[in-house]
Amino acid sequence: MSHAPQPALVWCPFPDRASAEGVADALIDEGMIACANIFPGMVSLYRWNGSLGRGEECGVLFKTNSAVLDSAIARLSALHPYEQPAILGWRCDAATPETAAWLAALGA
C-alpha cells in the first residue's frame, strides 16, 4: 500500500539574503522544495570551534515532503556558501489537508 509523502521542513541560516534567495531559487527549480520563507536580519549567537561568535544572518524555512527530504538536505548542503552549514530537517506529523497535498506533489 502506497502512502503520500508527509510534509517536511528544513531550517538553515545563510550569511545574507542574496545567497538565501539563490539557493531557494535553485531548490525550487530542481523540484526539491515548494516554498522558502526567508527571515532577514536574524542575529545568531553561537559557539563554534571553541569560540563564541555573533553575527547577522538570514534564516530560511524550506517546505518540502518526506520523500525528497534527504535529497533536499544534501543538495542544500552542496549549494550553501558556508563550509559546514547548520541544516536541520524534520518530518511534520500535522498539516492542513491542502498544505499536505501541495507538498506531496513534489517529486511526483
pLDDT at residue 18 in the model = 98
Answer whether residue 17 is part of any domain: yes
Query: Which residue range forms the structural domain that includes residue 23?
Result: 7-104
Give the predicted TM-score (pTM) of the model: 0.94
Residue 58 lies in a domain: yes
Residue 83 has pLDDT above 70, yes or no: yes
Cell numbers found for residue 49: 570551534
How far apart CA 23 and CA 27 sit, in angstroms, is: 6
Mean pLDDT of 40-64: 96
pLDDT tens sequence across 66-80: 999 999 999 999 999
2 assigned to some structural domain: no
Please check whether residue 59 is in contact with residue 42, taking contact to mean a CB–CB distance below 8 angstroms.
yes
Residue labelled with grid coordinates 545574507: 16
Q: Which amino acid is at 12?
A: C
Residue 23 DSSP code: H
pLDDT at 93 over 50: yes
Reported as a pLDDT band with limits 50, 70 and 90, residue 4 is: confident
Question: Can you give the CATH number for the domain in which 23 is found?
Answer: 3.30.70.120
Residue 1 lies in a domain: no
The domain tally of the chain equals: 1
pLDDT surpassing 80 at residue 89: yes
Beta-ladder partners of 64:
8
